[in-house]
Amino acid sequence: MTEPRYKRILLKLSGEVLMGEGGLAIDPTVTARVAEEIADVKAQGYELCVVVGGGNIFRGISGAARGMERATADYMGMLATVMNALAVQNALEEIGVDTRVQSAIPMQSVCEPFIRRRAMRHLEKGRVVIFAAGVGSPFFTTDSGAALRAAEMKCDALFKGTSVDGVYDADPKKVQGAKRYDTVTFSRVLSDDLKVMDASAVALCRDNNIPIVVFNIREHGNFAAVLAGTGVSTIVQN
Binding region for ligand UDP (CB under 6 A): 14-16, 53-55, 59-61, 74, 77-78, 80-81, 134-135, 137-138, 140-145
Nearer to ligand UDP, 49 or 78 (CB): 78
183-185/157-162 β-pairing: unpaired
59 is in an annotated binding site: yes
157-162/47-52 β-pairing: unpaired
66 is in an annotated binding site: no
* Closest listed residue to residue 14, CA positions, set 178, 148, 143: 143
223 is in an annotated binding site: no
172 is in an annotated binding site: no
Nearer to ligand UDP, 79 or 183 (CB): 79
192 is in an annotated binding site: no
The whole-angstrom separation of Cα 231 and Cα 95 is 24
The whole-angstrom separation of Cα 19 and Cα 11 is 17
Name the minimum Å distance from CB 194 to ligand UDP: 17
Nearer to ligand UDP, 145 or 166 (CB): 145
Name the minimum Å distance from CB 125 to ligand UDP: 27
Nearer to ligand UDP, 67 or 177 (CB): 67
Name the minimum Å distance from CB 155 to ligand UDP: 17
Nearer to ligand UDP, 73 or 128 (CB): 73
Cβ partners under 8 Å of residue 190, min gap 6: 199, 202, 203, 206
Name the minimum Å distance from CB 209 to ligand UDP: 22
Cβ partners under 8 Å of residue 141, min gap 6: 53, 134, 198, 201
212-216/233-237 β-pairing: antiparallel
229 is in an annotated binding site: no
Name the minimum Å distance from CB 2 to ligand UDP: 33
- Write the burial class of residue 70 (CB in 10 Å: 0-12 exposed, 13-18 middle, 19+ buried): middle
Cα-based distances in Å from 63 to 2, 13, 49, 138, 142: 49, 21, 29, 13, 17
Cβ partners under 8 Å of residue 22, min gap 6: none
165 is in an annotated binding site: no
Name the minimum Å distance from CB 84 to ligand UDP: 8
Nearer to ligand UDP, 46 or 131 (CB): 131
186 is in an annotated binding site: no
What values do phi and psi take at 237, rounded to 5?
A: -150, 175
Residues annotated within the binding site are 12-15, 54-55, 59, 74, 135-142, 162, 168, 171
Q: Which residues are annotated as a binding site for ATP?
A: 12-15, 55, 59, 162, 168, 171
Annotated binding residues for UMP: 54, 74, 135-142
